[in-house]
């Protein structure tokens, strides 16, 4: 976005390469000289954290795949082989399984940061939509990965979720048979899930490149929600953002390590340590925690097709969010009403997650319905209206002024 | 503006009301169930916490209880004899393991003549299963296969209460399996109890009713200990629960030791990065 590259080839080889493939200048412009708003807070480090998590998952997953066998007769035993006989197999598997959870923790923080600071607004709509595509791919990858250990919850989770497609009128049951590769979840299902589980992360990596490209075209949003006006407002990505990102990533990995080494089964379901048995249905079938809000929405609708539509609608509504929010002001810092509704949405989303883990009966169902209704009302009613009736606070004239105001100084030249 | 704030306040009240319904809902749900609360009590385990280690003598006793009592009905198909002498385990010597393995007969083959034959067990053999197949196990046990014990200590959980999540996370509570197994073995009711039509009265059993499919498996004095430990059901169940935790997680000690080093390294590394970052940003107001 800054026009001509500031990269100067230093050596004869670099000059030679630059004329043939300007890859060093591309990396230089994207990750070194790229102008970064200087007022970014730590919520802006989650992009780097997510990249690190994607790398971690691909790396651990690649080695796990060398020892795992995607066959329903031996899949469960091959995971135990990894845990007991492979050198540091326990680290690979616990790291990968908890890695999925931490990938989702990071992506949820990243998404809610975007919601709070209006990062989806003009001109960042495509950037936002690419992010949503990554989120969808992550959900598919996470779901299929959970099936691979072939425990009870793997098997029955796969059965419940694939059965959702049977709600499609006319062709539903044919589609489900096609997905399964048979008349129930079985060996063909496990095999294709393994294949797709290995493929999708590379599709994620591809869309991440588009996501970063789009980001570098429009530039980063920032807590003030206003565009940088001069070079005073920005700092070069390296070393400023790089040092902050690396620090935040390592702190994130401290908490991640706590889970891997001390509470590795905390996010898992004990039932998944029982080998898949098509003849014994577990008392409570529930997905991994990161799907629970959507699971709650699914179950809150008494009609199967309606439930499926609402569940997918809960994500679809995020795709059109840039056009639902009518406010011209990005950051919730300057939107007193939106800020309140944002936090209500956070509470409702977490509440839906909790409800997704409860049995579908009595008061839980009523609460799920209220929360589901509110979730959609937030996006479809409150956001469009709010932009029309809310009076935002006066915006600072520049990022530098916002920084001075935050630090308690009077706007003056320094 | 004021009407808008009122609007926001109304929404907040609505959310609050929804929350109240939620709480009320959970109360109804509890009331609807029978007043049965499984009596599962948390125990102190040597392998709990960041520096937890298995008590080798306890694991050896637990192995004895498993071998003489549990293994009559339960398989443990993912554990091999050689595991008994591995680091972080019961600490048997390789000679002891060879001797233990040699006490079982293993079918091997085919040999050069195409015939199957029996041979004494080797350290590399898995623990033998008590039944030839699930059907035989079912036939001998009132139609239910006794669960494989390799992962039992990780496959059972007492509670998933939202209130204890953060505490369990901080205190590293991962011993719900052995706590449950210990409690089960200690909470059999009187044998002449009429509470259960099917199953055996057990007030620790996780289910809608205190009726457990397994009859009381062990009594005081049944297994002889050589190290002077008490020969009571309480002691047996404590030892066998610890042994089952080891069987389910044989790399527990290695995991916790590695974890401590990794976390210390990461904290030191993060501190250095923090000061680096501060120095870099020192001249930029942000």
Residue A381 lies in a domain: yes
Residue with tokens 């009711």: B189
What's the complex ipTM? Answer: 0.93
Same domain for A177 and A257, yes or no, is: yes
User: Domains of chain B: which residue ranges?
Assistant: 34-79+126-259
* Comparison of pLDDT for A313 and B4, the residue scoring more: A313
A277 touches chain B (CB under 8 A): no
- Distance separating alpha carbons of residues B41 and A260, to the nearest angstrom: 26
Domain contains A14: no
Give the range among A37-51, B48-62, B155-169 with minimum mean pLDDT. B155-169
Residues in chain A where the model's pLDDT stays below 70: 1-4, 409-414
Regarding whether A40 and A175 lie in a shared domain, the answer is yes
Same domain for A362 and A238: no
> Does residue A153 have a cis peptide bond before it, meaning omega lies within 30 degrees of 0?
no
CA–CA distance, A355 with A347 (Å, rounded to integer): 12
Query: A311 and A297, same structural domain?
Result: yes
Nearest to B280 among A243, A344, A347 (CB): A243
Same domain, A185 and A108: yes
What pLDDT, on a 0 to 100 scale, did the predictor assign at position A153? 96
Does residue A167 share a domain with residue A49? yes
User: Chain A partners of B286 at a C-beta cutoff of 8 Å?
Assistant: 38-40, 235, 403
| Contact assignment for B259 to A38 by CB distance below 8 Å | no
A347 and A271 part of one domain: no
Chain B touched by A325 (CB under 8 Å): no
A1 belongs to a structural domain: no
B64: left (phi over 0), alpha (psi -120 to 50) or beta: alpha
A295 and A278 share one domain: no
Residue B27: pLDDT band by 50, 70, 90 thresholds? very low
Range(s) of the domain holding residue A69? 31-220+233-285
Q: Are residues A105 and A160 in the same domain?
A: yes
Q: Does residue A19 lie within any of the structural domains?
A: no
DSSP label of A395: P
Higher pLDDT, B176 or B11: B176
DSSP assigned state of B108: E
Residues A97 and A239 in one domain: yes
Burial annotation B193-202 (CB, 10 A radius, 16+ → b, else e)? eeebeebbbb
Contacts 24+ apart (CB under 8 A), B140-144: B140/B73, B141/B73, B142/B213, B144/B213
Q: B212 has which bridge partners?
A: B200
Tokens read off for A244? 């902050």
User: Mind spelling out the 3-state secondary structure of B21-79?
Assistant: HHHHHHHHHHHHCCCCCCCCCCCCCCCCCCCCCCCHHHHHHHHHHHHHCHHHCCCCCCC
B237 by DSSP, 3-state: which?
helix
The enclosing domain of A44 has a CATH number of 1.20.810.10
CA distance B260 to chain A (A): 8
How confident is the model over B229-247, as pLDDT tens digits?
A: 999 999 999 999 999 999 9
CB atoms within 10 A of CB B188: 22
Contact A243 B26 (CB under 8 A): no
DSSP characters over A156-193: HHHHHHHHGGGGSTTTHHHHHHHHHTSSSS-HHHHHHH
For residue B145, the chain A residues in CB contact (below 8 A) are: none
Of A250, A251, A363, the CB nearest to B26: A363
User: Do residues A276 and A164 both lie within one domain?
Assistant: yes
pLDDT band for position B190 (50/70/90)? confident
Assess whether pLDDT exceeds 90 at residue B193.
Answer: no
Number of domains comprising chain A: 2
B193, B201 Cβ separation under 8 angstroms: yes
If you measure CA to CA, which chain A residue comes closest to B23? Answer: A363
User: What contacts B35, CB < 8 A, 6 or more positions away?
Assistant: none
Q: What pLDDT sits at residue B38?
A: 87
A23: in domain: no
| CATH code matching the domain that covers B34-79+126-259, chosen among 1.10.760.10, 1.10.3470.10, 1.10.1060.10, 1.10.340.30 | 1.10.760.10
Per DSSP, which regions of chain B are E strands?
Answer: 105-108, 117-120, 200-201, 211-212
Check residue B59 and give its pLDDT: 98
Count of CB atoms within 10 A of residue B166's CB?
A: 9
3-class secondary structure, A44? helix
Residues A142 and A246 reside in one and the same domain: yes
User: And the tokens for A396?
Assistant: 């600072």
């Amino acid at each position: 976005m800054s026009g001509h590259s500031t990269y100067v080839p230093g050596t004869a080889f670099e000059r030679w390469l630059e004329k043939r493939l300007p890859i060093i200048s591309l990396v230089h412009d994207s990750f070194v000289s790229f102008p970064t708003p200087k007022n970014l807070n730590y919520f802006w480090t989650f992009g780097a954290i997510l990249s690190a998590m994607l790398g971690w998952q691909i790396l651990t997953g690649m080695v796990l795949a060398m020892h795992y066998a995607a066959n329903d007769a031996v899949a469960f035993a091959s995971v135990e082989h990894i845990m007991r006989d492979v050198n540091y197999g326990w680290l690979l598997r616990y790291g990968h399984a908890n890695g999925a959870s931490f990938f989702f923790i990071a992506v949820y923080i990243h998404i809610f940061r975007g919601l709070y600071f209006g990062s989806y607004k003009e001109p960042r709509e495509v950037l936002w939509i690419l992010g949503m595509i990554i989120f969808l791919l992550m959900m598919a990858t996470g779901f299929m990965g959970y099936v691979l250990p072939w425990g009870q919850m793997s098997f029955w989770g796969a059965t419940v979720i694939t059965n959702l497609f049977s709600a499609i009128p006319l062709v539903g049951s044919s589609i489900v048979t096609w997905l399964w590769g048979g008349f129930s979840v079985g060996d063909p299902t496990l095999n294709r899930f393994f294949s797709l589980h290995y493929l999708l992360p590379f599709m994620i990596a591809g869309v991440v490149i588009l996501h970063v490209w789009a980001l570098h075209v429009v530039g980063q949003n920032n807590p003030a929600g206003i565009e940088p006006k001069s070079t005073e407002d920005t700092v070069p990505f390296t070393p400023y953002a790089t040092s902050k990102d690396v620090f935040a990533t390592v702190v994130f990995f401290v908490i991640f390590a706590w889970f891997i080494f001390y509470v590795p089964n905390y996010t898992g379901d004990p039932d998944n340590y029982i080998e898949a048995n098509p003849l014994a249905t577990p008392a409570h079938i529930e997905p991994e925690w990161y799907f629970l809000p959507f699971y709650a929405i699914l179950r809150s609708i008494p009609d199967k097709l309606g439930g499926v539509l609402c569940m997918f609608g809960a994500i679809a509504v995020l795709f059109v969010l840039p056009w639902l929010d009518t406010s011209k002001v990005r950051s919730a810092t300057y939107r007193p009403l939106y800020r309140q509704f944002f936090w209500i949405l956070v509470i409702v989303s977490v509440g839906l997650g909790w409800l997704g883990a409860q049995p579908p009966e009595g008061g839980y169902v009523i609460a799920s319905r209220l929360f589901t209704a509110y979730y959609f009302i937030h996006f479809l009613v409150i956001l469009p209206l709010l932009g029309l009736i809310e009076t935002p606070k006066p915006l600072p004239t520049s990022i530098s002024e916002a920084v001075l105001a935050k630090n308690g100084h009077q706007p003056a030249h320094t | 503006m004021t009407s808008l704030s009122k609007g926001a306040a109304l929404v907040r009240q609505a959310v609050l009301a929804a929350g109240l319904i939620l709480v009320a809902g959970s109360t109804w749900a509890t009331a609807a169930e029978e007043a049965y609360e499984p009596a599962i009590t948390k125990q102190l385990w040597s392998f709990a916490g960041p520096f937890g280690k298995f008590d080798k003598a306890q694991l050896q006793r637990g192995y004895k209880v498993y071998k003489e009592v549990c293994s009559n009905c339960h398989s443990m198909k993912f554990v091999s004899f050689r595991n008994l002498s591995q680091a972080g385990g019961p600490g048997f010597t390789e000679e002891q393991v060879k001797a233990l393995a040699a006490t079982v007969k293993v079918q091997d083959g085919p040999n050069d003549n195409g015939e199957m034959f029996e041979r004494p067990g080797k350290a590399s053999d898995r623990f033998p299963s008590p039944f030839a197949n699930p059907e035989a196990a079912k036939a001998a046990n009132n139609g239910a296969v006794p669960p494989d014990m390799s992962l039992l200590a990780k496959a059972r959980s007492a509670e998933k209460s939202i209130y204890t999540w953060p505490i369990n996370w901080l205190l590293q509570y991962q011993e719900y399996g052995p706590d449950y197994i210990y409690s089960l073995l200690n909470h059999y009711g009187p044998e002449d109890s009429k509470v259960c039509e099917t199953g055996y009265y057990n007030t620790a059993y996780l289910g809608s009713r205190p009726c457990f499919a397994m009859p009381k498996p062990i009594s005081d004095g049944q297994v002889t200990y050589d190290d002077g430990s008490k020969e009571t059901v309480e002691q047996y169940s404590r030892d066998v629960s610890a042994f089952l935790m080891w069987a389910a997680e044989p790399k527990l000690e290695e995991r916790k030791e590695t974890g401590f080093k990794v976390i210390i390294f990461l904290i030191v590394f993060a501190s250095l990065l923090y000061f680096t970052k501060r120095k870099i940003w020192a001249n930029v107001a942000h």
